[in-house]
Chain A
């Protein structure tokens, strides 16, 4: 079942081998070399490894009772907080140590004793290997080296400018918490921890990326999430071989079940409350440093139609809205296809008077319906793409130009029939009602449209059957993608097409694999 992952891993490790060869010797021999006790030699080596980068500051100083001990601070200018260095590292070492009485049991050549006695910072780490030293240095730590010690102290005084916790742009809600994840993963974990105050919440850290060394966290509830699920996620994450993880999308593409499916099998969100809710259902979250998007696995298809607000608002409107979302998805995937199939192949299905008015509207249109529909859809996609990339004020202009000039004028000019404009604009609006499946909806729309143009309703129904079988065969981390619809799970259906009252959903159904798990 996971053989694709193996394959992927194999091919990516092959690529990596080549990369290693190219990287040259400079870093290759760093690994596992211990530090020497000679400060100057250490500094030379470090400078060599960093190729004398100009943003690396090496600050040598003397300290101790009699200022006879020599030490050095190495840090990267841009990453370290200089204030912090002066106040909490240099001051205690250079002046604080003077205040100690001479006979005090203090060994200035031992990093361990300096850490315990002189550095008033909690987040410190003793490193003995050059590779660890460089790793910490590049992660923003300040390295304290002391002559005569074979160890160094990495002090994490990282200077970050975390963005303020803000309402997420992609998942705005009317009712519900307005906080969203930010780029700093520690803040994100804090947001989750703040909602759940039990020791049950497990946070596992992994470092992924040969070059980026990105922190990736698996977060789950020990008592709720299936151990196999967590084990599987860990296994897949560990098998990733990549240079850099710049966004959680990288991770997603490596660990998803079927790389050739247009349907996403891992969900992502910016909202801590959503992550927590999903974890409580037995899913596991994957947080990646540097991006506000958390991944949640496994994902089932019907999740795309659920919104956190469904649970915050009362059930009646929630159920109606869920129905609206499902309908919107169907319209967004099938709308133009059905229009083309009906008007080109199955005109007998259209009520007579409607048929006559459609025919009247199409009187002057020179293109076949399929071409007309593809053109309009393509123009819509251009508008969408242009609107997203442009700055906000200009983006609005694009929308207006698109709506008025293209919609109104092309009908006036007789290029497009008015009904086609209605069909395409309805489809366009509908496609945004289900954000999680907008991508798959867009692709399916073109596929179904082509099938409808070729073989009418027969083509569409064959396309739908292939889609259905594909969806049925899809799994996300062992959970059938169409759960709870297929395989049928009656208690799971309480939260599928309608949302039953919360008190009826007391059972946890998360990773029920159905009786046919393979």
Chain B
């Protein structure tokens, strides 16, 4: 009894499939018809003031050639740009130049020009979040100058500038001087009425000549309500990362106890805990940082691998970290931008009180007091027990 019906259904399914196949394409695109975009830049056109989108498209033919017999101009990418009234419009305008719709599923990085960032990203970022092909994991960056220039700079080892930039942003852990921010993180901060958003800042100014410019991540741009209001330099970024517990590694430069040189410490591990407290109408943020490091280099002859020296170095390290945090906080006070996300923390702990504070958080933020407790430990001295210098006793 079931036989007939199920056979009919199979025939029906086949019919539907065949008919649809005959009636035209069902959304498939051959891989060689794709214009694979790996990075995008958003600028303002200098003359017209319209939006200028630069898309970095992979030149498939050139990829093999440059790795093989090295013919052609060696560039495996094509920066194609077009202007439009909106991001989407401009992206569609690009098809006049490429002949194919851009394939942006593999877009790894979106770079905004400084001009655009200063104007406010709110209206530019929507398409990057909304379009189904876009990845929410794409890195978001701000160019010190124009995004198109950054995307032109061909790196020496990577084939594609965009991949290189996304790699730079992701490798923040070695210095903890910058921080990676992807689309979703940025959107999350944009949505919060209190927090300020951040994005790494790239520039090419350190290049030697026009042909081989280096791309360099020089700090972080601070956004308030989507508009770029300031810049954090490397040390200030680390001050921020200490608080939010995102320091992965990095170098601490401490004056040696003897004062003749420096001890260079590598951060191995850092943890932080922030507890907000509202006491007598005052907001106090208790920040606890626990840091572990190793002695990686020293520029003095004295033996630092002793308990006393460790004691002193740890004290000095704690001071440096405290200093970095306070400097960053000072900077954020000036900008009136809650880059630490203290507002959200208050919201989570004091949701009732938050309702009153919320509306004039900008004014209240600079009055927040910090209570910083830092615990630093030196865990190891790597391969040396002593420096390679004459023993102190023999002197």
Contacts and interface: CB of A to CB of B under 8 A. Distances in A.
Interface of A: 4, 260, 343-345, 347-348, 352, 355-360, 362-363, 365, 368-369, 450-451, 453-456, 459, 462, 466, 473
B21 A453 contact: yes
B277 to A, nearest CB: 46
A343 B63 contact: no
24 contacts: A343-B31, A344-B29, A345-B28, A345-B29, A347-B31, A347-B34, A348-B105, A348-B106, A352-B106, A355-B31, A355-B106, A359-B36, A359-B58, A360-B63, A362-B30, A362-B32, A363-B32, A365-B32, A369-B31, A451-B17, A454-B26, A455-B17, A456-B26, A466-B13
Give 5 nearest A-B pairs by CB, closest first. Answer: A348-B105, A344-B28, A359-B60, A360-B60, A352-B106
Given A344-B28, A360-B63, A454 B21 contact: yes
Contact of A359 (B2, B10, B20, B34): B34
Contacts of B13: 462, 466
A352 B77 CA distance: 14
Contacts of B31: 343-344, 347, 355, 358-359, 362, 369
A352 B105 CA distance: 9
B3 to A, nearest CB: 7
Contacts of A462: 13
Contact of B38 (A4, A352, A369, A450): A352
Interface string B6-46: 01001001000100110000111111101010100000000
B4 to A, nearest CB: 11
Contacts of A455: 17, 20, 26
Nearest to A473: B2
B47 to A, nearest CB: 34
A357 B28 contact: no
B32 A357 contact: no
Contacts of B64: 360
B383 interface: no
B-side interface size class: 20 to 34
Interface string B208-245: 00000000000000000000000000000000000000
Interface of B: 2-3, 7, 10, 13, 17, 20-21, 26-32, 34, 36, 38, 58, 60-61, 63-64, 103, 105-106, 108, 133, 135, 163
B106 A344 contact: no
Contacts of B58: 356, 359
Nearest to B163: A352
A454 B17 contact: yes
A349 to B, nearest CB: 9
| Interface core residue of B28, B64, B103 (most chain A CB under 10 Å) | B28
B169 to A, nearest CB: 16
B3 A345 contact: no
Contact of B108 (A4, A344, A352, A454): A352
- Could you say which of A356, A362, A456 has the most chain B C-beta atoms within 10 Å of its C-beta? A356
B30 A344 contact: yes
Secondary structure dominating the interface of A: helix
A274 to B, nearest CB: 32
A152 B32 CA distance: 83
Contacts of B34: 347, 359
A137 B29 CA distance: 71
Contact of A369 (B10, B30, B60, B63): B30
A343 B34 CA distance: 10
Nearest to B159: A356
Given A260-B7, A355-B106, A453-B21, A363 B27 contact: no
Given A359-B32, A360-B60, A456-B27, 19 more contacts: A4-B3, A344-B30, A345-B29, A347-B34, A347-B103, A347-B106, A352-B108, A356-B36, A356-B63, A358-B31, A359-B36, A363-B60, A368-B30, A450-B17, A453-B21, A454-B21, A455-B17, A466-B10, A466-B13
Nearest to A370: B28
A518 to B, nearest CB: 12
Contacts of A360: 60-61, 63-64
Contacts of B2: 473
Given A356-B63, A360-B63, A456 B32 contact: no
Contacts of B29: 344-345, 347
A355 B106 CA distance: 9
A462 B103 CA distance: 26
Contacts of B30: 343-344, 362, 368-369
A345 B105 CA distance: 12
B36 A355 contact: yes
A363 B36 contact: no
A453 B20 CA distance: 11
Nearest to B58: A356
Nearest to A348: B105
A450 B103 CA distance: 25
B227 to A, nearest CB: 32
Nearest to B18: A454
Contacts of B103: 347
A267 to B, nearest CB: 24
A26 B34 CA distance: 76
A327 B273 CA distance: 48
A344 B27 CA distance: 9
A505 to B, nearest CB: 35
A344 B105 CA distance: 13
Contacts of A352: 36, 38, 106, 108, 163
Nearest to A366: B32
A344 B21 CA distance: 14
A481 to B, nearest CB: 15
Contacts of A260: 3, 7
Nearest to A342: B31
Contacts of B163: 352
A358 B31 CA distance: 8
A106 to B, nearest CB: 66
A347 B60 contact: no
Nearest to B106: A352
B276 to A, nearest CB: 41
B359 to A, nearest CB: 42
A459 B27 contact: no
A514 B311 CA distance: 72
Nearest to A346: B105
Contacts of A347: 29, 31, 34, 103, 105-106
Nearest to B162: A352
Given A352-B106, A356-B60, A360-B60, A456 B28 contact: yes
Nearest to A345: B28
B102 to A, nearest CB: 13
A4 B7 CA distance: 14
A395 to B, nearest CB: 36
A190 to B, nearest CB: 42
Nearest to A463: B13
B58 to A, nearest CB: 5
A368 B58 CA distance: 20
Contacts of B61: 360, 363
